[in-house]
Amino acid sequence: MNINDYGKRLDAADIGRREHRSFVGGLWDELGEWQLQMMCGLGGLTRDMTLLDMGCGCLRGGVRFIDYLHPMHYYGVDVNASLVHAGLHVEVPAAGLAAKCREENFSVRADFDASAFGIEFDRAISVSLWTHLPLNHIALCLTRMSAVLKPGGRYYSTVFEVPDAVAWLAPASQRMDIVSHPAMDPYHVTAAHLHAILDWHRLPLKARRLADDTHPRGQCIWEFERLPY
Ligand SMILES: C[S@@+](CC[C@H](N)C(=O)[O-])C[C@H]1O[C@@H](n2cnc3c(N)ncnc32)[C@H](O)[C@@H]1O
């Protein structure tokens, strides 16, 4: 069984019909703007910072971040080449932002390793990435992300969360009639799972759930701050 549907590649006709927007979950304007406002507010993102978007998709948030940040300060990684292509070659030019980003700032890979960019990032974000990934992938993602954040840098990731290990075993109702699962897309986690991943892997990260309830689909936001060396 596939862990999620993101192995599917969109072709030129799909992208011409803008199907990439619905493939990443729709709410294109709402969730794009939500990401920017969340990072500029709670995330303390300023224009001069470097930002890594892990699971950037077709740049629903990316086009807003590219517009906001200094040129070439936005970086994206995603497993799906067709989504990155749609973002970079359709959405970015359509927004008049082609001069503010370049192909070298994007990487298509499945292992969450962004070290080849050679950057220590100020900020990082994953919106609706972990909701499509099982726990072992989240552990790998957190491990890789901790290695590319600068000391004091902060990574924000959204999850469907359930209160405890018993609730984790059963399907859970989320906003907008979404049902999350322990081992099927969309996935949920507990706070204890996230803290345990940091402990098991001895990651130099301080974690906390933000007191924010504004995600349109009810995803919680977790902040991971890179501890100093
Ligand atoms: C719901 S979409 C969200 C995309 C983007 N963050 C946004 O808000 O529009 C989930 C994204 O996670 C990506 N993804 C899934 N597994 C991944 C992996 N192992 N590494 C990187 N990206 C992955 C998918 O290809 C897809 O673009």
Paired residues of 67 in beta bridges: none
Query: What pLDDT does 60 receive?
Result: 98
- 7 assigned to some structural domain: no
Confidence of residue 165 (pLDDT cuts 50, 70, 90): very high
By the 8 A CB rule, do 108 and 78 touch? yes
Ligand 1 site, CB within 6 A: 6, 24-25, 31, 55-57, 60-61, 77-80, 83, 110, 112, 127-129, 132
Query: Is 140 part of any domain?
Result: yes
Q: What distance in Å separates the CA atoms of residue 137 and residue 84, rounded to the nearest whole number?
A: 20
**Residue minimizing CA distance to atom 21 of ligand 1:** 78
> Phi-psi category of 94—alpha, beta or left, where left has phi over 0 and alpha has psi -120 to 50?
alpha
Instruction: Tell me if 5 is assigned to some domain.
Output: no
> Quick one: pLDDT at residue 229?
72
Kindly state whether residue 194 falls inside one of the protein's structural domains. yes
Q: Note the pLDDT of residue 67.
A: 98
Flag whether 199 is in a domain. Answer: yes
Whichever domain contains 139, its CATH number is 3.40.50.150
Please determine, for residue 102, whether its predicted confidence score (pLDDT) is greater than 80.
Answer: yes
Cα of 10 vs centre of ligand 1, distance in Å, is 14
pLDDT band, very low/low/confident/very high, at 109 (cuts 50, 70, 90): very high
According to DSSP H, which parts of 147-222 are helical?
A: 165-169, 191-200
Residue 11: pLDDT over 90: yes
Closest C-alpha to ligand 1, atom 9: 60
- pTM of the prediction? 0.98
Whether 4 is covered by a domain: the verdict is no
Q: Is 54 exposed, middle or buried (0-12, 13-18, 19+ CB in 10 A)?
A: buried
Over the stretch 171-185, which tens digit does the pLDDT of each residue have?
A: 999 999 999 999 999
Q: Domain limits at 162?
A: 12-226
| Number of domains forming the structure of the chain | 1
Establish if 110 belongs to a structural domain.
yes
SS3 75: strand
Which of 3, 6, 107, 126 is the best mutation target for the ligand 1 pocket, counting ligand atoms within 8 Å of the beta carbon and taking the most?
6
CA nearest 209: which of 218, 220, 219, 217?
220
For residue range 43-68, list pLDDT tens digits in order.
999 999 999 999 999 999 999 999 99
